[in-house]
Amino acid sequence: MKRVLNLGTIGVNSYLVEISDGWVLVDTGYPFSYQHFLRAAARQGVELSSIRYVVLTHVHADHAGFLKRVLEDAGAKLICLPAERDRLLSGRNKQNVYLSRPILYIINRISAALPRFQTFEPVDVTGALDAETQPLEKEGITFFVLHGHTDNDLCMRVDDKLFVGDVCMSGIGSVGYSPLWIEDNAALTESWKQLLAMDAEFLYVGHGKPFLKRELAEFVKKQENRKLCKLYK
C-alpha cells in the first residue's frame, strides 16, 4: 500500500501519494493558502523538491489556486487533461453552473463576488503530461475521467483508493456526498454509478474526509429526483 498524506488547507484536501522517487501531489488549494501548504509540508517532513508530479483533478480555484507556484517551486511535472487547456489559461472558474440546493445560492453569489475564491494564476499546459496516456502506470497509479462536476473530472486510482476530486464531497458545503457546484447533473449521476461499479473501497475527495464507496451507494439511491438551482441567470 502506498503511503498517503494530506497537506490540506482551509477546507480543501491536497493529498500526497508516495512513489519510488518522491511524491505525487493531488490538487493544490486556494491561491491564498500557499504558505499554509508549505508549513504543512514542513511539519510532515516533506521537501518541496520531492514532489515530482502534481495532478489536477479539475479547473476550479480551490484546486488550481497555487498550482503554478508549486509547479515552479518544486520543479514538478503537471499531470492533467489537455482538454482543460483553455480553462487553465482563463484563470477563472466557469460561471453559469448549477447548485445542489437552492438554499446555497446566496453563499455562491457572495463567493462569486470575491475574486480570491474563484480566480487563480493561469497555467499553461505546454509540457504537461496527458493523464490519459497513463504516465504513472509503472508506479501502480492509473487515471480515468468522469464528468459532471466540471466538463472533465480527472480521477486517480491507487491501490483500493479512488481520488475523485469533487465528483463527490463529504465536507462543509456538500449536500450528502454531492458537490455543491454541478455543470451537468445527468453526467454527474452517471459518474457516481461508474464509481460504484469500480473495484475499490475508498473515495478520497477534494473536500471532507475519505469515505467508503458503499456510503456513496446509499446516497445515490436517494438522488433520483434532486432539485438544482441554476446560477448566474
Contact between 87 and Zn ion (CB under 5 A)?
no
Q: Stretches 84-92, 94-102, 123-131, 161-169: which one binds Zn ion (CB under 5 A)?
A: 161-169
Quick one: 46 or 57, whose CB is closer to Zn ion?
Answer: 57
Q: Which residues contact 224 (CB under 8 A, 6 or more apart)?
A: none
Quick one: 50 or 119, whose CB is closer to Zn ion?
Answer: 119
Using CB under 5 A, which of 52, 60, 207, 213 touches Zn ion? 60
Cβ–Cβ under 8 Å, residues 147 and 192? no
How far CA 78 is from CA of 11, 20, 30, 98, 102, in Å, comes to: 23, 17, 17, 29, 36
Q: Stretches 32-40, 45-53, 55-63, 79-87: which one binds Zn ion (CB under 5 A)?
A: 55-63
167 residue type, one letter: V
Cα separation of 109 and 105, whole Å?
6
Q: Stretches 28-36, 94-102, 162-170, 215-223: which one binds Zn ion (CB under 5 A)?
A: 162-170
Shortest separation between residue 154's beta carbon and Zn ion, angstroms: 12
Grid coordinates given for 152: 472533465
Q: Stretches 7-15, 52-60, 124-132, 221-229: which one binds Zn ion (CB under 5 A)?
A: 52-60
Grid coordinates given for 177: 456526498
Q: What is the DSSP letter of 172?
A: T
Using CB under 5 A, which of 64, 166, 178, 203 touches Zn ion? 166
Q: Which residues bind Zn ion (CB under 5 A)?
A: 60, 166
